[in-house]
Amino acid sequence: MRTNGSRFIPLQKLIFLFAVLPCIGSLLWTNNAQAGPWGREAGQGLIISGIEYYRAELEGPASSFQQIASSFYGEFGIANEFTLAANFYYVNQFSNASPDPFSGNGFATIELRGQKPIWRGQGTILSLHGGYSAATKIQRASLKRFQDKWTPVIRPETRQNKNLEPGFDANKTEKALNINSTIKRNAALLFGAEWGRTIGEKGEGFFSFETQLRPSLGNDAHSARVNASYGYAFTERSTLLLKSLNDFAISKPETGGLSYDVFRLEGALLYRLTPRYQISLGMGREIGGRNITPGSALQFQLWSEF
């Protein structure tokens, strides 16, 4: 019998998680500039900066949630095939949902992780990674909880943002919830593995898979991530990228925490401008989930190697 506040992992989700462990993946790859399980040689690095527009149509007449996000991803090879990576995701969010429209901005994701290959075969590689994630209330998903008079505003300077969290009433207290306290409550550890394989006579394509456990250090549910990526360079300058990105909860949250599942498909076209720089134009669509309202996104990125 579960006591109040304790967490459990349903048996069927454990079976699913371990069923996909042999099929583990990467989010990032470029022709001759591979990231994900391939990592970086010592002294070499990759920086990806981008902007994304996200929109989800909410219930009610002309109601929507919109987000403009700036992202930064960087990785650097340290030594002995060890790669250190950092990911920052800053958002401006706004919604006209009635009766409580809101707007807010702040860091939605700050992640640090280290990665090292543990096995190499004929065109294949297996890497392990671990790290720390400080995430706020929303990450690339429009939660249905927004429509239940709950706002994810990170810095509630105005009195209208009184429903930031359960029990928080800006009309009765001077308490100010800032980005640091939000991060602390929703932090998580990262443990995962990535498998990748190049395809083609000249290595012009790839498959990669990732699985990751994300034990929560706060009120949010423990979660898992399973991603798959495919890329193919059909010319010397152009590469097609296709991704399946899947996050799901594997426990119940504590009081005030979040629990949701989201399944997203993305496609992008990378074009190499110079030996050092590439640009990427892509789009994504959430095709399902739990406790979310599916939305769509447009993305633009600049990839730089050094």
Supply the pLDDT for residue 185. 53
Confidence of residue 170 (pLDDT cuts 50, 70, 90): very low
Which pLDDT does position 98 carry in this prediction? 67
Triad 52, 78, 227: Cα angle to 5°: 40
Query: Distance (Å, rounded) from C-alpha 210 to C-alpha 129?
Result: 10
Summarised one tens digit per residue, pLDDT across range 102-113 is 777 888 888 999
Residues 46-93: tens digit of each pLDDT: 999 999 999 988 877 778 889 999 999 999 999 988 999 999 989 888
Residue 221 has pLDDT above 70, yes or no: yes
Give 95's pLDDT tier (boundaries 50, 70, 90): confident
φ, ψ (nearest 5 deg) of residue 85: -130, 150
Transcribe 208-228 into DSSP letters: EEEEEEE-BSSSSPPEEEEEE
β-bridge partners, 228: 209, 244
33 vs 191: which has the higher pLDDT: 191
pLDDT > 70: percent of the chain: 70
Stated pTM of the model: 0.74
Residue 222 predicted with pLDDT over 60: yes
**Mean pLDDT over each residue of the chain, to the nearest integer:** 76
Name the E strands within the chain. 45-57, 64-79, 82-95, 102-120, 124-135, 142-143, 187-199, 205-214, 223-233, 238-249, 261-272, 277-290, 292-293, 295-305
Overall average pLDDT of the 253-275 stretch? 91
**Contacts with 259 (C-beta within 8 Å, 6 or more apart), sequence order:** 220, 221, 249, 251, 252, 253, 291
Stronger pLDDT, 99 or 141, i.e. the higher one:
99
Distance CA 253, CA 5 (A): 8
Cα(191)–Cα(217) distance, integer angstroms: 13
Q: Which residue has the higher pLDDT, 5 or 58?
A: 58
Mean pLDDT, residues 185-189 taken together: 80
Q: Which of 58-72, 137-151, 168-182, 204-218 has the highest mean predicted lDDT (pLDDT)?
A: 204-218
Instruction: Kindly indicate the confidence band of residue 30, based on its pLDDT and cuts at 50, 70 and 90.
Output: very low
The C-alpha atoms of residue 271 and residue 30 are separated, in whole angstroms, by 10
Q: Where are the domains positioned within the chain?
A: 11-202+276-305
